[in-house]
Amino acid sequence: MSFNVRQTSEEIATLASKVLNDPNSSVKGKKLAGSALAQTHTDKQTGGDMETLASEVLRSEDSTEDEKSLAGSVLSQANKERT
């Protein structure tokens, strides 16, 4: 099995924290933020469900820049055999 060693950067972790603490953030944004934070300083990889959500966010014209940044980070940490 292929293994992705990428981890969430401090910049994305800070953004994720901001999104999680903002009561106006979307559910999608909060899910992506939680996934990004879960992959900070660990060897965890993005799961299939989160890959799908991140892909949808990146393709959507309605997604915010913060959501797209989190989605890009989450996808970059995906299992290479699934991507």
Q: What is the pLDDT of residue 81?
A: 66
What is the span of the domain harbouring residue 38? 27-83
C-beta of residue 53 within 8 angstroms of C-beta of residue 31: yes
Is residue 18 included in any domain, yes or no? no
Is residue 77 included in any domain, yes or no? yes
| Number of domains forming the structure of the chain | 1
Is residue 61 included in any domain, yes or no? yes
Is residue 10 included in any domain, yes or no? no
Is residue 21 included in any domain, yes or no? no
Q: What is the pLDDT of residue 41?
A: 84
DSSP letter, residue 78? B
Q: What is the pLDDT of residue 3?
A: 59
Q: What is the pLDDT of residue 71?
A: 97
**Per-residue confidence in pLDDT tens, the chain, 83 aa:** 555 577 899 999 999 999 999 999 999 999 999 999 998 888 888 889 999 999 999 999 999 999 999 999 999 988 766 54
- Geometric angle at alpha carbon 45, from 52 and 19, rounded to 5°: 65
What phi and psi values does residue 14 have, to the nearest 5 degrees?
Answer: -65, -45
Q: Tell me how far apart the alpha carbons of residues 58 and 21 are, in angstroms, rounded to a whole number.
A: 22
Is residue 22 included in any domain, yes or no? no
Q: Tell me how far apart the alpha carbons of residues 23 and 56 are, in angstroms, rounded to a whole number.
A: 22
